[in-house]
Structure 1
Amino acid sequence: MFKQKSLSEKNAKRKVFRGVVHIFKTTFNNISIVCVTDIQGNVVTWSSSGACGFKGSRKATPYAAQTVTSNAVRKAIDLGLRQIEINISGPGTGRETAIRSVQNLGIPIFLIKDVTALPHNGCRPPKKRRI
């Protein structure tokens, strides 16, 4: 009924010429994940600060953001990535550093888009802290 894929078909590398770098959730405590997808949204490569060996508060540093982003994009370059768009979300400290690390790799950037979610008066905020 279904054709079984051979091992060489499963491990065959895809060629991606244009992709999107999603820098998810750059918070003040972490830059959690960087994901490189093709134009359709299929994941090509990814990297995170924990996967790069950062633990604890070192995940929140701009150096961690630079390392994670360049790691993910280098993997995608090996698969043939030549043009990129960047989607970045979150208010963290590593935003500009992550974008600079992509620019230093020499790939043309067509679009930098901030996709940080903003509430339109949705949930009620927590009460003010009393110290």
Structure 2
Amino acid sequence: MIKNNIKSVILVIIFTSNNILYTLTNIEGEVLFWTSAGLKRTRGTKKITLTTIVSSIKIILAYLNNVKIKYIHLKFKGFDKNKKIVLKYLKQSTLNILSITNNSMLPHNGCKKTKRRCI
């Protein structure tokens, strides 16, 4: 359900090892629109190439122009070399980027593993 008084949305971009997921939510966290590189029927490592990234960003920008949203908050999750490419294409658009957050989880060796039982 899209309300006409939405002024800004949050774009969450999740980089996994073989896919990139894009989710548009409102400020409360309700999903408005989502897409991924696999929706274009690309398989395997082709999902993280430059052409699929650009085409999925164009789909998102077309949706945002359709519902007339101008302001966006960006959230990145995961590790990938394509974060700068995504950011470059979003900056070239007519959107106003209000904030950029990077939620990449980096383990600092974590908890101690339990000792294996010898029988």
TM-score, length-normalised on structure 1? 0.73
Distance 2:93 2:77 in 1: 21
Unmatched segments (≥5 aa) in structure 2: 114-119
Distance 2:81 2:51 in 1: 10
Query: Which residue number in structure 2 is paired with residue 116 of structure 1?
Result: 104
Unmatched segments (≥5 aa) in structure 1: 1-11, 126-131
Q: Runs of 4 or more off by more than 3 Å in structure 1? A: none
Query: Which residue number in structure 2 is paired with residue 102 of structure 1?
Result: 90
Per-residue deviation, residues 24-51 of structure 1 (Å, max 9, x unmatched): 1x134322x1011111111111111111
2:8–2:27: 8 Å Cα contact kept in structure 1? yes
Name the CA shift for 1:123/1:78 in 2 (closer, same or farther; >3 Å). farther
Percent of pairs identical after alignment?
A: 22
Q: 2:7 aligns with which of 12, 17, 26?
A: 17
Distance 1:19 1:28 in 2: 26
After superposition, the CA RMSD in angstroms is 2.1
Query: Which residue number in structure 2 is paired with residue 3 of structure 1?
Result: none
User: Quick one: which amino acid aligns to residue 53 of structure 1?
Assistant: R
2:74–2:97: 8 Å Cα contact kept in structure 1? yes
Deviation at 1:82, TM superposition (A): 1.1
User: Quick one: which amino acid aligns to residue 100 of structure 1?
Assistant: K
Q: Give the paired residue count.
A: 112
Distance 2:100 2:53 in 1: 16
**Does residue 88 in structure 1 map to residue 64 in structure 2?**
no
Query: Which residue number in structure 1 is paired with residue 117 of structure 2?
Result: none
Distance 1:53 1:76 in 2: 23
